[in-house]
Amino acid sequence: MADQPAVVHEFSIAIEQVHDYEFRVRFDKAHHADLLLDEPAPLGQDKGPNATRILAAAIGNCLSASLLFCARKSRVEIGPVRTTVRTEIVRNPRGRLRIGKVAVEIDAPAPEAEREKARRCLGLFEDYCTVTQSIREGIDVQVTVKGFSE
């Protein structure tokens, strides 16, 4: 068995069904607002983003923040950073919907005189994006369902 990395931090969030496919997410920090998730029709009423959109937002946000962090460490003021995340939904061989591809385009204007310094970040920032790199490497997801068989 391969050595497991040491846990650096851990947190828990709570997700509670409101009605049909509408769920409320409560974060582990009281100052974070609850988040409403819902599926689009025909399942839900599209009252909030669904999990796929939240994942796309997490990827885009993490990459944008990582690029900004690298630029600032390099003492290059960029911005405002604008990011577009294009997500393709495909069907797997069993006909199940899956995220097939995520294409992220980050527009982070750097002053012309600073562009050479800013380019150094192009080879670095993705490696610091917790979300994107975790997805690329695969995440161990363990699932337990209570109440069905106990």
Q: Say if residue 45 is in the same domain as residue 65.
A: no
CA 102 to CA 99: how far, in whole Å?
A: 8
Judge whether 60 lies within some domain: yes
Q: Is residue 8 situated within a structural domain? A: no
- CA-CA-CA-CA torsion sign (132, 5, 123, 129): positive
96 shares a domain with 75: yes
At 82, which CATH number? Answer: 3.30.300.20
Residue in this structure with the two tokens 């690298």, named with its chain if needed = 70
Closest CA to 83 of 103, 111, 60: 60
Residue-range definition of the domain harbouring residue 35: 14-49
**39 in Cβ contact with 21 (< 8 Å):** yes
Per-residue pLDDT 10s for the chain (150 aa) are 567 789 999 999 999 999 999 999 999 999 999 999 999 999 999 999 999 999 999 999 999 999 999 999 999 999 899 999 999 999 999 999 999 999 999 999 999 999 999 999 998 999 999 999 999 999 888 888 888 875
Q: Is residue 146 part of a domain?
A: no
Q: Are residues 74 and 64 in the same domain?
A: yes
